[in-house]
Amino acid sequence: MKEIYKFYCRFYQKAFKLATNFLSWKAPEIISGEDSVLKIPEVLKKREIQSVLLVTDGGLVKLGLPDALVEAIRKNGIKCTVFSDVQPNPTITNVENAKDVYLKNGCQALIAMGGGSPMDCAKGAGARVSNPKKTISRMRGQLKVGKPLPFFIAIPTTAGTGSETTVAAVLTDPNTHEKYAVNDPKLRPKYAVLDPKLTVGLPPHITSTTGIDALTHAVEAYIGHSNTKETKECARKAVKLIFENLETACTDGKNIEARANMLEASYFAGVAFTRAYVGYVHAIAHQLGGIYSTPHGLANAVILPYVLEWFGESAYKELAELSFCAGIGKKDKTDAENAVAFIQAIKALNERIGIPNKFDFIEEEDIPTIVARALKEGNPLYPVPRIMDEKNCEEVIRSFMK
């Protein structure tokens, strides 16, 4: 039965990869550089937009990060309403509240400013605005959004999620505490604004976890079976930039070059996994976020090396290739040796930037739920190098428990 199920997963993945060739994969138009966020009013005016909803979070509002943008928009005669009640793991309730504010203020466009949470909330709200009779739960999964979103601009203030270029919104059901994804090219923003000045104030612990989040996107995309030439190239670029810049961004947060390079890395990683998908690191991490509210980047960072070790030789070739992107590969070593060295380099990087190697909060009674929900997310969709079953998944989870 296990072999039949694995065959089914592989058949599903190949069929889905074939189907994606018929979808639109147009990437967002990029506006980049210091103070590039101030170019947004011009973009809005060209489209004759008179009212916009800015979705962000309370922490950024307290820091005053959206102030310059809001002022610039309003100075250009455009109404700007701010919705800042986004939670770290946005819920369906968040989405509904944002949608209501959008409609109440007669908005014509969405701007998301922040990390993955405001962007996911904005994507969900936009999907609900365009599809008023379809709930978020009915959009869960693949290609179920229906109508296109309103005009949408994404402004990352962290370098990690890649949400400014992805087709996914990850949301939490507040009743079941289940975290799941809505995936559809219609969720992809029209513009991505990569302004490194917006990331300068990020504390080291957020810089580190979001940076490894981007690394996870690139690695999981690269080792999967649904790559294209473009996604592989983007993943390689992301890995190189992250290993060259993340530690500097953590220790010297005002280094604009490192910050800009990390934003670029996050974007490239986002392009890679948008088309090639992620894997079991994300499938498990989403459950920790849903049950324990674990920050997504932190969950990915801790889990990544353990899943890569579990994949073993099924991922050695690809991980060996990435070891050269990270600057640690040796031509006189085997794929297995370089792959293992790459995993060890991830662990060492995690340690240097203050990321723990295990979690101490996972409750024994929650493990069956985590396993069931992670495999429901991962199988049959994610084109991973090796298919997990319940026993495998539990083993991996226990490997990073204290």
Are the CB atoms for 278 and 304 separated by under 8 Å? no
For CATH 3.40.50.1970, list the domain ranges present in the chain: 33-199
If you compute the radius of gyration of the chain from its CA atoms, what whole number of angstroms results?
20
- Pick from 339, 348, 285: which is nearest to 310 by CA? 339
The Cβ-side half-sphere exposure at 83, using a 13 Å CA radius, reads 29
User: Residue 18 corresponds to which tokens in the numbers above?
Assistant: 């074939």
Tell the CATH topology of 33-199.
Answer: Rossmann fold (3.40.50)
User: Residue 8 corresponds to which tokens in the numbers above?
Assistant: 């089914």
User: Residue 133 corresponds to which tokens in the numbers above?
Assistant: 């009779």
Tens digit of each residue's pLDDT (9 = 90 or more) over 218-260 = 999 999 999 999 999 999 999 999 999 999 999 999 999 999 9
Q: What is the DSSP track for 292-318? A: H---HHHHHHHHHHHHHHHHGGGGHHH
For CATH 1.20.1090.10, list the domain ranges present in the chain: 2-18+204-399
Give the max Cα distance, the chain: 65
User: Residue 231 corresponds to which tokens in the numbers above?
Assistant: 């996604």
- Pick from 399, 288, 304: which is nearest to 350 by CA? 304
Mean pLDDT, the chain, whole residue set: 96
- What are the DSSP E strand ranges found in 139-272? 141-142, 151-156, 168-173, 178-183, 191-194
Q: Binning pLDDT at 50, 70 and 90, where does residue 177 land?
A: confident
Single pTM value for the model: 0.92
Backbone angle region of 27, left / alpha / beta, with phi > 0 → left and psi within -120 to 50 → alpha: beta
Percent pLDDT > 90 in the chain is 92
pLDDT greater than 70 at residue 1: no
Are the CB atoms for 289 and 296 separated by under 8 Å? yes
**Cis preceding linkage at 380, omega within 30:** yes
What is the pLDDT averaged over residues 190-215?
96
- Pick from 69, 22, 23: which is nearest to 188 by CA? 23
3 state DSSP class of 227: coil
Tens digit of each residue's pLDDT (9 = 90 or more) over 92-143 = 999 999 999 999 999 999 999 999 999 999 999 999 999 999 999 999 998 9
Does the domain spanning 2-18+204-399 belong to CATH 3.10.180.10?
no
Tens digit of each residue's pLDDT (9 = 90 or more) over 371-387 = 999 999 999 999 999 99
What is the pLDDT averaged over residues 288-316?
96
3 state DSSP class of 55: strand
What phi and psi, each to the nearest 5 degrees, are found at residue 244?
A: -85, -20
